[in-house]
């Protein structure tokens, strides 16, 4: 391989000479320790390299060796449950090599070379296969059937193939391509992270990603294949919200990218997810999760790469026909990494020092989300296990999706800054976190007045079919009440609640109930962290029934105080904690509301 | 290879551009000898072919291009660590400042440290009793956490930090509620890094530590207001290198106090400006977040090692503004923040902890049965909720008059006053056990209608709410 030498070192950026045959985005090895780096600019005979490791001790004259290949990830059995840094070095393997602290120049392959996987072939010799076709499966764990696919850009006839036990490097068979060459069929593929994996076509999203977080699912839903962002000042609840989605959403695979955030948050996931049980499969959550952890104190160039590493993995599972949700926490730290590298390249800065291409990069990243018809034929029989949520897909076109949820950490919570603004141009769902809500410990601190979802029309048919025809009208009615509350609150603040009409006071009370008995959801309470759509609907129905009956009771003369302190209020408050299989609770509360408000109200009214 | 040069071309602020060098590496330690014989340390910020950019930690005053000797030392900036550091005072670059002998180091370590592998971390979950109700009751600190104090000029952050350093103790865990709450004896140490603070403030800490004999278990790194500003960039890293040695190799529980991070950031800004880097907000460099993270993320616990590093960085918010880049970026990295409030301070309440915007993100891991008490989390939620509502009621009263408040609002307003006056307020030398703090919280609950205690489980209310009649 070509060897050059360093001429300049400035933090994570190294300039080298003598790499004329290398190409943009090729991976290089820098210095005697062979630190990983990537070519990001070429001018004349010089190329600029961003180095994924600490560069202290490097100097002019040190060698740089090209690898002739772009930064790629290894895709295959063993991904699930793993934790990687931003350039797919497995952190547990690094710990075994160098101990508790990360050392330089140490590396390990993304997929274990020792692990053996039981492979079941689903094609036979002589079959014609195209890119993306499934040739067999590895039952990676009880949850995920790892479908082994013909890599993109390969097609031909199966020359040989055999079920058996293999490492990721041992060919399970061979494909004879049109041009007569023989391609190894491996359990593992490699894919350059900066290139989106190909698919047959994009499809319109039509199914919600059910997260179990009430304010999201009901008020600002996200779709499978959709994109959303969570901006908010520090401590407003971005990470907790993303963890909740990683834990309880009905995606089959979760990719979590800790991009320039805290080490302890990664540890938290690593310690908690193996203990938590996936509500859909009954298996530990970690088995459907891949963690990319490039924390704030890890090298900033690897942070820049981490989002690409993560999304490439997401696309790979999508190509198998799964619904994947990718969480990037925080995209601001990614943008800052770009800004830092751009600054060292002495590029002309745009807004707030960010490079002029910030918007393009953000858009291109989010565009890798989506619901797609994948390459390759429909899933063959036997590649879909019984418990698999995508079971009904066997035999039809293969469809997969990547949903992306990106947190944004705007300086000072200021939403006019460049990362938020550029993100808003591409995402369809906006969950705006407010620190004032967080101070009141109203969690999730999603501001219902400024947040939005542009998927409300797309999700409607699903809601009608799977939740009920009344769900959408109830949701809209609640939204109206909340809107009205914000106007009335202003008046009440100036002249006192008593200046409001009784009807308005009832509305204020209902709004409070929507906020406290529905929206507020404690992520740390076992009986509160997940709510099904059916239960969300029942909760709304209950709150609105109280509203309606309160108005009726008032019309019949019941004093407001009596209405607001009806004993059933206590049950309404606790209804969100009721078990998922105890929907009868809502019938009881419903009849309590009827008897206590209207019956009682009448009596009181008569007595007067 | 020649390692000494007199080929400085430019001197700009704390930076020197040295030409015709060879074999220089990024980050290399440099010794400068000025015409008057004074020596100073520096390090290489950038090297481009035969030109090195050097930052001088003690400044460039008295240097000139033609007569200044620049020696490249062939290694990075290190600290010689040893147990003997305990009880000693060093300057901001780790040289003895107390007139005592040089340390015979156990080894030399790079002050930049290495990132802890996330898989090797152990999650912080041991409650630290600080003896301060507004912290223990509502925003508890746990071992291995990084919890800064956001303060402002003229507020008693030093007193609070010293009080925490004096009183901090870890409580025994047990399944038997009777045994929970005993203080655990263990090896602990305080590492104190002063950046740009006055002699008086530093002296306050030293005498506080001396008074409790904690000084023998302390290591101090002092860069005071009249010490060179650029040296401050190294000071917290010196302190954390010492702390890591004590924690992970000597099994000690180390509390690191870093004060004042604002001056640290300003030093960084000075260097960045001299380099003519594209500035971010308020002139601070765009990499301030990452730079601060390499300091704060050095807090934590590591699986299989006994010691731990708990960090309490202190910063003064310019213009009391929480959205200023220094507190803002700090808040984005640390695991919560304790915010001090000028209003409470004016009203004579010590410690003036602004409870509502303060937060300890690790609290749910550190409290509860076996660690503190079963009712801790619920009670703390309820205290928050009630205080928030009380504050709102008081604001309403300001606009509409006391009389316009509903009975409930009046109760909450009274609660807020009592909460500030009895729960938040305590004496500088008053140490409250967590039991006492919780009991006090329950006592205040009696000011509220019982039906309002919605955030507390019924059985806890039964068990802990004092009898009002009695
Ligand atoms: N749904 C929730 N239920 C209960 N508590 C919550 C919830 N969401 C957030 N919190 C509280 O808020 C704290 C901060 O949340 P989180 O760490 O998610 O903030 P963040 O927005 O990610 O902040 P940063 O930008 O600094 O990372 C949590 O530690 C927790 O105490
Ligand atoms: Mg976060």
- Rounded-to-integer distance, Cα B148 and Cα B315, Å: 8
> Which stretches of chain A score pLDDT less than 50?
386-391, 601-602, 604-608
Q: Which of A282-291, A382-391, B40-49, B226-235 has the lowest mean pLDDT?
A: A382-391
- At residue B292 the predicted structure's pLDDT band, cuts being 50, 70 and 90, is very high
Q: How far apart are CA A107 and CA A444, in angstroms?
A: 39
Q: Are A452 and A220 in contact (CB under 8 A)?
A: yes
Q: Give the pLDDT score at B278.
A: 84
- CA–CA separation, A144 and A139 (whole Å): 7
DSSP letters of B196-226?
A: EE-HHHHHHHHHHHHHTTGGGGEEEEEEETT
In this complex, the residue of A15, A264, A339 whose CB is nearest that of residue B121 is: A264
- Decide if pLDDT at B468 tops 70: no
- Minimum distance, in Å, between the CA of residue A207 and any CA atom of chain B: 34
* Strand pairing class (A189-192; B308-316): unpaired
Which ipTM was obtained for this model? 0.91
In this prediction, residue A383 carries a pLDDT of: 66
Binning pLDDT at 50, 70 and 90, where does residue B1 land?
low
Which domains does chain A show, CATH number per domain?
Answer: 3-70 (2.40.30.20), 80-99+201-378+400-454 (3.40.50.300), 117-187 (2.40.50.100), 467-602 (1.10.1140.10)
Q: d(Cα A405, Cα A385) in Å, to the nearest integer? A: 28
Burial of B17 (C-beta count, 10 Å sphere; 0-12/13-18/19+): middle
Decide if A216 contacts A200 (C-beta within 8 A): no
Helical axes A471-495 vs B376-400, angle rounded to 10°:
50
Within 8 A by CB and 6+ apart from B132, the residues are B160, B163, B164, B167, B351, B353, B426, B432
Contact B305 A100 (CB under 8 A): yes
Q: Residue A530: CB within 6 Å of ligand 1?
A: no
**For the residues B203-229, what does the mean pLDDT come to?**
90
Q: Which pLDDT score is estimated for B425?
A: 97
A567 touches chain B (CB under 8 A): no
Within its chain, how far is the Cα of A314 from the centroid?
10
* Cα B434 to middle of ligand 2, angstroms: 29
Query: Measured between alpha carbons, how far is residue A452 from residues A221, A328, A539, B314 in Å?
Result: 9, 20, 21, 38
> Which residue CA neighbors atom 29 of ligand 1 most closely?
B361
Compute the residue count for chain B: 470
User: Taking 60 as the threshold, does the pLDDT of residue B285 lie above it?
Assistant: yes
Q: Is A340 on the interface with B (CB under 8 A)?
A: yes
Question: Which positions ≥6 away from B403 have C-beta within 8 Å?
Answer: none
Best B26, B148, B311 member to test A by mutation, with max A CBs in 10 Å, is B26
Report pLDDT digits (tens) over B61-112: 888 999 999 999 999 999 999 999 999 999 999 999 999 999 999 999 999 9
Q: Check if A258 has its Cβ closer than 6 Å to any atom of ligand 1.
A: no
**Does B199 contact ligand 1 (Cβ within 6 A)?**
no
CA separation for the pair B452, B456 (Å, rounded): 9
Alpha helix (H) ranges present in A408-518?
418-424, 435-439, 456-466, 471-495, 502-513
Burial B410-442 (b: 16+ CB within 10 A, else e): ebbbbbbebbbeebbbbeeeeebebebbbebbb
Q: Residue B215: which pLDDT band, with cuts at 50, 70 and 90? A: confident
Q: Residue B195's Cα: distance from chain center in Å?
A: 12
Tokens of A395: 């035999």
Can you give the pLDDT at residue A607? 38
Give me the torsion for CA of A86, A87, A91, A94, rounded to 10°.
-140
Question: According to the model, what pLDDT value does residue A608 have?
Answer: 36
Which residues on B lie below 8 Å from A100 (Cβ)?
Answer: 116-117, 120, 248, 302-303, 305
User: Cβ(B443) to ligand 1 under 6 A?
Assistant: no
- How many C-beta atoms surround the C-beta of residue A351 within 10 A? 14
Closest alpha carbon to B45 in A56, A339, A46, A347: A56
List A329's β-bridge partners, or say none.
A258
Query: Residue A138 in contact with residue A148, Cβ under 8 Å?
Result: yes
DSSP for residue B416: H
Instruction: Say what the pLDDT of residue B226 is.
Output: 93
8 A C-beta contact, residue B286 and residue A355: no
Top pLDDT among B182 and A131 is at A131
Average pLDDT, chain B: 92
Asked if A87 contacts A68 with a C-beta cutoff of 8 angstroms, the reply is no
Query: Using CA atoms, how far apart are residues A582 and A244, in angstroms rounded to an integer?
Result: 23
Residues 112-171 of B with CB under 8 A from A: 112-124, 144
pLDDT (0 to 100) of residue B399: 83
Q: N- to C-terminal Cα distance for chain A? A: 97
Q: Rounded CA gap, A373 and A360, in Å?
A: 25
Please indicate if any CB of chain A lies within 8 Å of the CB of B443: no
Nearest CA to ligand 1 atom 15: A237
pTM for this one? Answer: 0.94
């Amino acid at each position: 391989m070509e060897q050059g030498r360093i001429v300049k070192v400035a933090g994570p950026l190294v300039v080298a000479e003598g790499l004329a045959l290398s190409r943009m985005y090729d991976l290089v090895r820098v210095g005697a320790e062979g630190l990983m780096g990537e070519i990001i600019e070429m001018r004349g005979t010089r190329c600029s390299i961003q180095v994924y490791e600490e560069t202290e001790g490097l100097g002019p004259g040190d060698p740089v060796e090209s690898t002739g290949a772009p930064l790629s990830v290894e895709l295959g059995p063993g991904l699930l449950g793993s934790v990687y840094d931003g350039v797919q070095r497995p952190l547990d393997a690094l710990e075994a090599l160098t101990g508790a602290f990360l050392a330089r120049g140490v590396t390990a392959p993304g997929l274990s070379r020792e692990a053996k996987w039981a492979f079941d072939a689903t094609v036979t010799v002589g079959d014609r296969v195209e890119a993306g076709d499934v040739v067999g499966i590895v039952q990676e764990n009880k949850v995920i059937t790892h479908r082994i696919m013909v890599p993109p850009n390969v097609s031909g006839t199966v020359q040989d193939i055999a079920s058996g036990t293999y490492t990721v490097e041992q060919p399970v068979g061979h494909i004879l391509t049109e041009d007569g060459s023989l391609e190894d069929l491996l359990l593992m593929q490699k894919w350059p992270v900066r290139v989106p994996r190909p698919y047959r076509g994009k499809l319109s999203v039509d199914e919600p990603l059910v997260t179990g977080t009430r304010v999201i699912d009901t008020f600002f839903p996200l779709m499978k294949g959709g994109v959303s962002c969570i901006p908010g000042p520090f401590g407003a609840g971005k990470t907790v919200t993303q963890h909740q989605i990683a834990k309880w959403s009905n995606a089959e695979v979760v990719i979590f990218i800790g991009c320039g955030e805290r080490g302890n948050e990664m540890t938290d996931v690593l310690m908690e997810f193996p203990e938590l049980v996936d509500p859909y499969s009954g298996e530990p959550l970690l088995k459907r999760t891949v963690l990319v952890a490039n924390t704030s104190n890890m090298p900033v160039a690897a942070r820049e790469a981490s989002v690409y590493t993560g999304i490439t993995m997401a696309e790979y599972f999508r190509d198998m026909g799964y619904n994947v949700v990718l969480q990037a926490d925080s995209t601001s730290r990614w943008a800052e990494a770009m800004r830092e590298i751009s600054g060292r390249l002495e590029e002309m800065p745009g807004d707030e020092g960010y490079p002029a291409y910030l918007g393009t990069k953000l858009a291109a990243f989010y565009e890798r989300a989506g619901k797609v018809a994948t390459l390759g034929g429909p899933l063959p029989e036997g590649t879909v296990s019984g418990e698999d949520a995508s079971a009904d897909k066997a035999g039809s076109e293969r469809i997969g999706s990547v949903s992306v949820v990106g947190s944004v950490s705007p300086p000072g919570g200021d939403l006019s800054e460049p990362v938020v603004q550029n993100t808003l141009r591409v995402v369809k769902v906006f969950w705006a976190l407010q620190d004032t809500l967080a101070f009141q410990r109203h969690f999730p601190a999603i501001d219902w007045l400024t947040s939005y979802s542009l998927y409300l029309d797309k999700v409607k048919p699903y809601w009608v079919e799977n939740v009920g025809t009344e769900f959408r009208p109830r949701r809209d009615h609640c939204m109206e009440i909340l809107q009205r509350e914000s106007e009335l609150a202003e008046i009440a603040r100036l002249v006192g609640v008593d200046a409001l009409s009784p009807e308005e006071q009832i509305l204020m009370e209902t709004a409070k109930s929507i906020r406290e008995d529905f929206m507020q959801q404690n992520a740390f309470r076992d009986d509160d962290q997940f709510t099904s759509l059916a239960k969300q609907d029942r909760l709304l129905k209950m709150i609105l029934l109280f509203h309606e009956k309160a108005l009726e009771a008032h019309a019949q003369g019941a004093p407001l105080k009596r209405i607001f302190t009806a004993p059933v209020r206590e049950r309404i408050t606790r209804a969100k904690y009721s078990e998922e299989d105890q929907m009868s609770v809502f019938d009881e509360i419903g009849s309590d509301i009827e008897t206590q408000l209207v019956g009682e109200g009448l009596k009181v009214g008569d007595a007067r | 290879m020649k390692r000494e040069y007199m080929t400085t071309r430019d001197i700009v602020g704390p930076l020197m551009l040295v030409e015709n060098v060879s074999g220089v590496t990024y980050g290399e330690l440099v010794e400068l000898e000025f015409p008057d014989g004074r020596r100073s340390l520096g390090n290489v910020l950038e090297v481009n072919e035969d030109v090195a950019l050097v930052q001088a930690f003690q400044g460039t005053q008295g240097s000139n291009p033609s007569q200044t000797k620049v020696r490249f030392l062939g290694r990075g900036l290190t600290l010689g660590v040893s147990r003997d550091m305990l009880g000693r005072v060093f300057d901001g670059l780790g040289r003895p400042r107390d007139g005592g002998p040089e340390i015979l180091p156990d080894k030399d370590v790079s002050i930049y440290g290495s990132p802890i592998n996330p898989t090797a971390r152990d999650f912080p979950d041991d409650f630290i009793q600080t003896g301060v109700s507004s912290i223990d009751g509502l925003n508890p600190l746990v071992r291995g956490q990084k919890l800064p104090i956001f303060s402002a000029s003229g507020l008693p952050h030093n007193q609070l930090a010293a009080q925490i350093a004096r009183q901090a103790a870890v409580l025994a865990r047990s399944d038997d509620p009777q045994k929970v709450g005993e203080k655990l004896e263990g090896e602990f140490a305080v590492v104190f890094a002063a950046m740009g603070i006055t002699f008086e403030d530093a002296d306050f800490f030293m005498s506080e530590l001396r008074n409790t004999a904690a000084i023998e278990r302390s290591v101090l790194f002092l860069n005071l207001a009249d010490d060179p500003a650029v040296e401050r960039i190294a000071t917290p890293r010196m302190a954390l290198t010492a702390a890591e040695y004590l924690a992970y190799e000597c099994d000690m529980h180390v509390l690191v106090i870093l004060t004042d991070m604002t001056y640290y950031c300003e030093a960084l800004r000075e260097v960045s400006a001299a380099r003519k880097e594209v500035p971010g907000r308020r002139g601070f460099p765009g990499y301030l977040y990452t730079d601060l993270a390499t300091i704060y993320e050095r807090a934590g616990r590591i699986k299989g090692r006994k010691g731990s590093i708990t960090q309490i960085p202190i910063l003064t918010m310019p213009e009391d503004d929480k959205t200023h880049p220094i507190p803002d970026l700090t808040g984005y990295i640390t695991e919560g923040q304790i915010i001090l409030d000028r209003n409470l301070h004016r009203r004579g309440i010590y410690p003036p902890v602004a409870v509502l915007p303060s937060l300890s993100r690790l609290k749910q891991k550190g409290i509860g049965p076996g660690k503190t008490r079963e009712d801790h989390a619920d009670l703390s939620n309820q205290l928050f909720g009630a205080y928030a509502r009380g504050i709102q009621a008081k604001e309403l009263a300001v606009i509409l008059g006391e009389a316009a408040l509903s009975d409930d609002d009046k109760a909450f307003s009274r609660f807020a006053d009592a909460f500030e006056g009895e729960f938040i307020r305590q004496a500088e030398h008053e140490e409250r056990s967590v039991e006492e703090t919780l009991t006090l919280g329950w006592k205040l609950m009696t000011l509220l209608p019982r039906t309002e205690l919605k955030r507390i489980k019924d059985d806890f209310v039964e068990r802990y709410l004092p009898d009002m009649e009695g």
